[in-house]
A = this chain, B = another copy of it.
Amino acid sequence: MALIVQKYGGSSMADAERIRNVARRVTKARQTGNRVVVVVSAMGGTTDELIRLAHEICEQPESRELDVLLSTGEVVSSTLLAMALRSLGHKAISLSGAQAGIQTDATHSRARIRNVDPKRICEELDRDNIVIVAGFQGITDELDITTLGRGGSDTTAVAVAASLGAERCEIYTDVQGVYSADPRLVPEACQLEEIGYEEMLELATYGAKVMHPRAVELGELYNIPILVASSFSDRPGTTIRGGISMEVRNKVRTIVHDLDVAKITIVGVPDQPGIASAIFQPLAKASISVDTIVQNASIDNITDLTFTVAESDLTRAMSLVEPVAQSIGARECVSDANLGKISIIGTGMQNTPGFAARMFQALYEAGINIQLITTSEIRITCIIEETRIKDAVRALHKAFELDKGKR
């Protein structure tokens, strides 16, 4: 009898009717002979409502208390799903993160899972229960409740699957799966049947909102196949797994883009040790994520340093960077909020020449100017004007022949 872990997100659990729908889907998995563990997010909107409540009480809610508060959202949805399953005649039980043995460090609001002790889950499975686990939360050695931050419930699901040696982890969400490009921009975009962990990691990091990179990383680490599919349809979805066949290697698999990009350039930076650290330390302390960093070769010991941040962080980032720039004797700081990021992703790219050239050529032919370029082993990213992103995605989708269904 196979063991599978399913995860349902907030929009799949938004109200009683949808929860009953999820119960029917879980039932189907159970009836095909599987043992089933279900990880749930809070009902859509609940977490925001709880945060609003906390901010009504005080401006800066303390993170331990906020974690306890937010954790109730997933407890509520887990009990409701258990009730719905029972009313369909199934044995089901809900467990909080603590009861499910999700042990974390004590970093409130973005705790990391240290270990999953699946004892209670196993006991309940042995009692023939469908086990519903409240996602997004865990417990410290001190028995204090933590939350896992962004992508938390996905991470819970993959961690539970790993600890149980599950056959696979199924992430049900409001998208159909992973596409060769955003289907809203490219109608010809194809859904991928499968994708490797590394590719999915780049995809998740470089703009696709399908899944959080943390959960993908964990899946790779424990080699758990992850199915991403819609909870609103019966279409097949995309499987993320290792050992993708040779045929699909060495080619571009997806185009991914991100509009939430702003650029800061510090002009005329003296090229000496410690400068980068002086600039980026304050940003890290303020939890501002710095993405692409480019430093030009210096001329006369003077260089320019450019990096990107999320558009929403730009004002804060500038207020931190400007005094530093002044103190290290840089000439000036300039910023541009109207940028976007476009990436091509595919394993083996580094080993196969010509991908970058083809990308640049396609953008050139579309009349799109490239401002910054970064690469990884399986990804090439260009920063361009935000207004040209749509054209760029279409041009690259065509150039790499992704709309022909050759996956």
> Is A72's beta carbon under 8 Å from chain B?
yes
Within 8 A of B (CB), among A67-81: 68-69, 71-72, 75-76, 78-80
A79-B75 contact in complex given A16-B53, A86-B62, C-beta closer than 8 Å: no
The answer to whether A76 and B84 touch across the interface, beta carbons within 8 angstroms, is no
Residue A87 contacts which of B59, B84, B93, B143 (CB distance < 8 angstroms)? B59
**How many Å from the CB of A24 to the closest CB on chain B?**
13
Q: Which residues of B contact A79 (CB under 8 A)?
A: 54, 65-66, 68-69
Q: Mark A18-61, 1 if CB is under 8 A from B, else 0.
A: 01100000000000000000000000000000100110111111
- What is the CA–CA distance of A82 and B87 in the complex, to the nearest angstrom? 37
The answer to whether B69 and A54 touch across the interface, beta carbons within 8 angstroms, is no
Q: Which residues of B contact A86 (CB under 8 A)?
A: 58, 62, 65
> Is A214's beta carbon under 8 Å from chain B?
no
> Is A94's beta carbon under 8 Å from chain B?
yes
The answer to whether A57 and B20 touch across the interface, beta carbons within 8 angstroms, is yes
Q: Which residues of B contact A94 (CB under 8 A)?
A: 65, 68
Q: Which residues of B contact A96 (CB under 8 A)?
A: 68, 145
**How many Å from the CB of A20 to the closest CB on chain B?**
7
- What is the CA–CA distance of A59 and B75 in the complex, to the nearest angstrom? 20
A50-B76 contact in complex given A16-B56, A19-B57, A68-B94, C-beta closer than 8 Å: yes
The answer to whether B72 and A57 touch across the interface, beta carbons within 8 angstroms, is no
Question: Nearest residue in B to A88 (C-beta to C-beta)?
Answer: B58
**Could you say which interface size class chain A belongs to?**
35 or more
The answer to whether B72 and A75 touch across the interface, beta carbons within 8 angstroms, is yes
**How many Å from the CB of A15 to the closest CB on chain B?**
8
The answer to whether A82 and B62 touch across the interface, beta carbons within 8 angstroms, is yes
- What is the CA–CA distance of A60 and B83 in the complex, to the nearest angstrom? 9
Q: Which residues of B contact A76 (CB under 8 A)?
A: 50, 53, 69, 72
> Is A99's beta carbon under 8 Å from chain B?
yes
Q: Which residues of B contact A84 (CB under 8 A)?
A: 57-58
Q: Which residues of B contact A57 (CB under 8 A)?
A: 16, 19-20, 80, 83-84, 87
- What is the CA–CA distance of A20 and B59 in the complex, to the nearest angstrom? 13
> Is A251's beta carbon under 8 Å from chain B?
no
**How many Å from the CB of A112 to the closest CB on chain B?**
22
Question: Nearest residue in B to A70 (C-beta to C-beta)?
Answer: B79
Q: Which residues of B contact A390 (CB under 8 A)?
A: none
Question: Nearest residue in B to A78 (C-beta to C-beta)?
Answer: B68
Q: Which residues of B contact A69 (CB under 8 A)?
A: 75-76, 79-80
> Is A398's beta carbon under 8 Å from chain B?
no
**How many Å from the CB of A16 to the closest CB on chain B?**
4
> Is A64's beta carbon under 8 Å from chain B?
yes
Q: Which residues of B contact A20 (CB under 8 A)?
A: 57
**How many Å from the CB of A379 to the closest CB on chain B?**
42
- What is the CA–CA distance of A83 and B86 in the complex, to the nearest angstrom? 37
Apart from A54-B79, A57-B87, A65-B93, what are 5 other A-B pairs with CB-CB below 8 Å?
Answer: A16-B56, A54-B83, A65-B94, A68-B94, A72-B72
A-B contact pairs, 27 of them (CB 8 A): A15-B56, A16-B57, A19-B57, A20-B57, A53-B76, A53-B80, A54-B79, A54-B83, A58-B84, A58-B87, A59-B87, A62-B83, A64-B93, A65-B79, A65-B80, A65-B86, A65-B93, A65-B94, A66-B79, A68-B75, A68-B96, A69-B75, A69-B76, A96-B145, A99-B143, A99-B144, A120-B143
9 A-B pairs closest in CB distance = A58-B87, A16-B56, A72-B72, A69-B79, A65-B79, A65-B82, A68-B79, A61-B83, A57-B83
